[in-house]
Amino acid sequence: MSSEHPTEGRVDPLSILHDALRAADCDADLEALIERLAGDSRIGARALEIRARKKLEKGHRERERISGLLALRDELTRRGVRGIAGVDEVGVGPLAGPVVAAAVVLPARFELAGLDDSKRVRPALRRTLASKIREIAVGVGIGEVSVEEIDQIGIYQAALEAMRRAVASLARTTEVGHLLVDARTVPGVTLAQTPIIKGDQKDASIAAASIVAKVHRDTYMESLASRYPAYGFERHMGYGTVAHLAALDVHGPCPIHRRSFAPVEAAERRALRVSPALR
């Protein structure tokens, strides 16, 4: 008799068990499935049990990782600090578009599997996480600094200003008692703050802020693609890719390009030499 059909006991079809494994999203579901599979001698059932156990172990490891990312926040909480916000910015490097920052206060308990520095999270998961973060967060603040402001004050000061605006936005609706900031100190605020080098990889609140800011900015840049189709903003989000630089060379800068950035300035000079009437 085939090993896919055990000789005794009533068992579920493998297709049902496959669906149960796919749908299991918590320890209780996985543990129940493993119990259902116990003693099932079918080869397919044994393989499903192995997968279920691996998924359960992976969930345990992920929770331990997230717990590590919450170590500083939890220590501050034990000291009586309330309203601990992670702050991060995105969009310093692009040749076009604003610089955006987010400030996020996460709840005491949450499930955000895959939470990490936005640069290390694939786009589809990044969008899912951004949506979940906005749904569960105690508060979220966004700060933007426009291209015109970037050109006036420089990108470094613009990034700091974006973070200041994000904190101000958050503080209008949420109690904020301490800032955890990715590698910088937010100017113009009286709140206690802790800068953390590579904070978006070390702290959950900063990682959440980086994801919210990244998705917010990407969505905006994608919305500009139809207005300025020659540049492919929906693909590179304004970063200086080969294709973007080639488009700049052919078409010159558009209104959302940062004239204070050398490649854009050079492209504008070339465009003026080719078309003196533009001066």
At 12, the pLDDT band (50, 70, 90 cuts) reads: confident
Residue 26 pLDDT grade (very low, low, confident, very high; cuts 50, 70, 90): confident
Could you give the count of Cα atoms lying within 13 Å of 23 in the half-sphere of its Cβ?
A: 9
Mean per-residue pLDDT over the chain, rounded: 91
Pick the CATH number of 71-223 from 3.30.420.10, 3.30.300.20, 3.20.10.10, 3.40.50.1700: 3.30.420.10
Q: What pTM was estimated for this model as a whole?
A: 0.82
Indicate whether 5 pLDDT > 50.
no
Sorting pLDDT into bands at 50, 70 and 90, what band is 103?
A: very high
User: Can you say whether the dihedral through the CA atoms of 29, 34, 40, 45 is positive or negative?
Assistant: positive
More reliable by pLDDT, 186 or 29: 186
Domains of the chain, by residue range, sit at 14-69, 71-223, 229-278
* Residue 1: band (very low, low, confident or very high) from pLDDT cuts 50, 70, 90: very low
